[in-house]
């Protein structure tokens, strides 16, 4: 009898232990596979704004893109979008194998698969906080549709938040990591990451603003992963494997990411999306007399000195050439590269009039740039790109840094210098550019020096 009781007690204790272990596993997402745990990642519920509601002017673009998605569903592109509703490491391997031109698998490319898998699962955590915070209703539920995504289930869509898109977060994070690993294929890889987000609009699982937020969460997650030595070691191993398989030689000169190949064309006045852009511009004008308007006017100066002054506060130290030379050198070169990338895209893409020019206003702030394209927003690419880079350097301050970087883009709408869709394009390209910069030895040297300098400076700040 006593032996039986002891066995029962032992079984109960073991059950409690297993339940406790499972609970910890569930809360943290994984015990071994993540580069950065959920609670240590940037929180999109903090650095991103709340999603548009159905009475917001920003919802106009969401509605128009939902309508566009419906027209695409019966097409070959719609069928691909339906297939891409499956979100898994297997699906990521399939999609990016096509982009790279060779098969990614656990057996054939173990180092690449390991990097991709761990990055994917880390990014899986990145959208959970804002999803739980906002619990936005998905368009498929809002408009009483049936799921058209092959792997989407109505009950799951009904009980999980739409903002931001988790698929997009995972897909773009994976694309950014693989583009850094294989820069020769960066445009093809990043285009697939972009389209993976668009697929969620087509199948009515997400609004455009959910997907936009997913692109941002994915980039922020990748920035946080760069602070983990395991990620950096896995990246080097995967890169070596990639060069061996591809037969290419490393350290060749690689152009900057080409936004014409990665993004869709800029919105023009004949596009249905122009209504959303115009509505947001007119709404933003009302903020000019407010404190937010004064903030936007200050953000219109994106010179190096202004950038250093703006990011000093969220970074927690004063940035200047005398006291932080390594950080300033890094930001000087990064700002130049980000601006150059934006201007190259602006010169190559269809010219777009700035909002104040289009409607016959005077610019509220910034210069008179009648001859410079509104697409994309250089200040947005600079602001978001530098926020991502500084997130690698000071991950504990990520939310403040990313909030500022995101705000700098929104300021361009208030000043009348840029349309909302120009700013989204610039932020996506900023993430692509940061991935590309990581393949540059000079940039990595500056980054290492800046990390050491920041650690020394931050240790003296109380």
What does the angle CA 98 – CA 262 – CA 213 come to, to the nearest 5 degrees?
100
Alpha carbons 26 and 23: distance in angstroms, whole number: 5
452: its two tokens: 């050491």
Alpha carbons 28 and 41: distance in angstroms, whole number: 12
173: its two tokens: 């994070």
> Catalytic: 206?
yes
Number of H helices, E strands in the chain: 23, 0
Alpha carbons 239 and 242: distance in angstroms, whole number: 5
Compute, in degrees rounded to 10, the torsion defined by CA atoms 235, 240, 241, 242. Answer: 80
Among candidate residues 43, 61, 210, 400, the one labeled active-site is 210
CB of 381 closer than 8 Å to CB of 434: no
Alpha carbons 306 and 321: distance in angstroms, whole number: 13
Alpha carbons 275 and 291: distance in angstroms, whole number: 27
29 CB burial (10 A radius; 0-12, 13-18, 19+): middle
Whether residue 74 is preceded by a cis peptide bond, meaning omega within 30 degrees of 0, is no
> Catalytic: 200?
yes
Alpha carbons 362 and 376: distance in angstroms, whole number: 20
CA nearest neighbour of 138 among 156, 114, 151, 120: 156
Inter-CA distances, 450 with 36, 144, 197, 447, 455, Å: 21, 52, 33, 5, 8
Among candidate residues 38, 136, 192, 200, the one labeled active-site is 200
Q: Which residue do the tokens 């800046």 mark?
A: 450
> Catalytic: 210?
yes
| CB atoms inside a 10 Å sphere around CB 347 | 10
45: its two tokens: 């519920």
CA nearest neighbour of 36 among 232, 236, 221: 221
Inter-CA distances, 344 with 152, 371, 378, 386, 415, Å: 39, 15, 10, 18, 23
CB of 119 closer than 8 Å to CB of 222: yes
Residue 173 has phi, psi (to 5 degrees) of -60, -45
Among candidate residues 138, 170, 206, 226, the one labeled active-site is 206
Q: Which residue do the tokens 């498929």 mark?
A: 140
Among candidate residues 136, 167, 192, 354, the one labeled active-site is 167
State in Å, rounded, how far the first CA of the chain is from the last one: 63
Q: Which residues are catalytic?
A: 167, 200, 206, 210
């Amino acid at each position: 009898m006593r032996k039986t009781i002891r066995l029962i007690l032992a079984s109960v204790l073991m059950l409690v232990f297993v339940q406790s272990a499972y609970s910890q596993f569930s809360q943290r997402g994984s015990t071994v596979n993540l580069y950065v745990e959920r609670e240590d990642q940037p929180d999109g519920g903090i650095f991103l704004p709340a999603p548009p509601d159905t009475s917001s002017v920003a919802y106009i673009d969401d509605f128009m893109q939902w309508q566009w998605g419906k027209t695409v569903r019966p097409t070959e592109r719609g069928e691909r979008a339906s297939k891409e509703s499956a979100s898994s490491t297997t699906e990521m391997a399939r999609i990016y194998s096509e982009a790279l031109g060779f098969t990614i698998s656990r057996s054939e490319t173990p180092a690449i698969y390991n990097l991709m898998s761990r990055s994917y699962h880390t990014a899986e955590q990145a959208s959970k906080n804002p999803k739980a915070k906002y619990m936005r209703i998905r368009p498929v539920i809002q408009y009483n549709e049936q799921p058209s995504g092959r792997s989407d289930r109505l009950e799951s869509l009904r009980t999980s938040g739409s903002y931001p898109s988790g698929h997009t977060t995972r897909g773009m994070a994976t694309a950014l990591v693989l583009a850094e690993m294989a820069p020769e294929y960066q445009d093809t890889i990043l285009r697939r990451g972009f389209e993976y987000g668009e697929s969620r609009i087509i199948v009515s699982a997400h609004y455009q603003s959910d997907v936009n937020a997913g692109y941002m969460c994915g980039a922020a997650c990748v920035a946080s992963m760069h602070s983990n030595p395991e990620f950096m070691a896995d990246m080097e191993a995967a890169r070596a494997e990639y060069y061996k398989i591809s037969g290419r030689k490393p350290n060749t000169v690689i152009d900057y990411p080409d936004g014409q190949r990665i993004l869709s064309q800029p919105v023009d006045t004949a596009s249905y999306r122009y209504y959303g852009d115009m509505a947001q511009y007119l709404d933003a004008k009302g903020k000019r007399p407010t404190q937010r308007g004064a903030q936007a006017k200050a953000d219109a100066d994106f010179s190096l000195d202004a950038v250093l002054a703006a990011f000093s506060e969220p970074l927690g130290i004063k940035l200047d050439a005398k006291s932080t030379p390594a950080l300033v050198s890094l930001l000087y070169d990064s700002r130049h590269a980000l601006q150059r990338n934006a201007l190259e895209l602006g010169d190559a893409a269809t010219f777009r009039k700035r909002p104040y020019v289009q409607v016959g206003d005077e610019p509220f702030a910034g210069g008179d740039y009648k001859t410079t394209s509104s697409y994309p927003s250089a200040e947005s690419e600079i602001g978001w790109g530098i926020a991502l880079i500084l997130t690698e350097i000071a991950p504990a301050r990520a939310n403040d840094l990313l909030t500022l970087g995101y705000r700098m883009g929104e300021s361009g709408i208030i000043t009348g210098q840029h349309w909302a869709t120009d700013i989204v394009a610039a932020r996506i390209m900023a993430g692509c550019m940061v991935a590309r910069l990581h393949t540059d030895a000079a940039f990595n040297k500056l980054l290492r020096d800046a990390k050491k300098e920041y650690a020394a400076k931050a240790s003296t700040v109380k």
